[in-house]
Amino acid sequence: MGMPAVRRIVSYLLLLSLPSFLFAADSGAAMLYANGAAWLNGSHVPNSSAIFAGDLVQTRADAAADIHASGSSIMVLGGSLIKFEGVSLNVEHGGVSVSTSKGIATTAGDVRVTPVSNAWTEFNVTDIDGTVRIAARKGDVVVTDDSGAVTLPQGQETTRDEQSSEKKKKKRVAGAVPAAGGGVLNSPVAIGIGAAAIAGVTIWVLTRSDQPISPNVP
């Protein structure tokens, strides 16, 4: 029996039982409800499925998905890819809308967003084209990146770069190496050396040959 079939059976059992009882112990399990095309670890989610720490959730651009866990509700926005970690989320691309009383943190690149307290907190995190946008809708959140940690009050928004400045520098340096190496054969020095080599071989062949290039007699 394949893993998708096992997950489907587990999902049905969870749906038939009492989810609130099963998830009350913060076991890292939750329920995923698809609203449109969604995938769980690469497998299509027809309607709902159990979800566990380490699972990947992906939604199509015109779809969404809801994750219901103990004390938390998470909406995965359209065109998103996120990793569910039970007590936290990792946004690979796209965004989430988080409502929690369990202090669920959300990470996007090098940026981490955490509720200030376990009071009911609602916030949005989106990561598109390397820019992370955070909005504190209810309650305050702490935004942490390579520059430090700041508190974002309720009703405020802010943006951060997905990667730290040091990582960006390393990426630029690493990206410059292939470009420099690829242009060596096109440099004037290389072209001159190649032309001289061809001329030398041609002269050697002419001096060694017993027959002229253009014979006098056809």
For the segment 90-98, the average pLDDT, to the nearest whole number, is 98
- Assign 182 a pLDDT band (cuts: 50, 70, 90): very low
Instruction: For the domain made up of 3-165, give the CATH fold.
Output: Jelly Rolls (2.60.120)
pTM: 0.68
The pLDDT tens digits for 17-65 are 444 444 444 567 999 999 999 999 999 998 999 999 999 999 999 999 9
Token readout for 206 is: 């002419």
Are the C-beta atoms of 10 and 30 separated by less than 8 Å?
Answer: no
- The CA distance from 111 to 30, in Å, is 24
Query: CB 157: neighbour CB atoms within 10 A?
Result: 12
- Assign 215 a pLDDT band (cuts: 50, 70, 90): very low
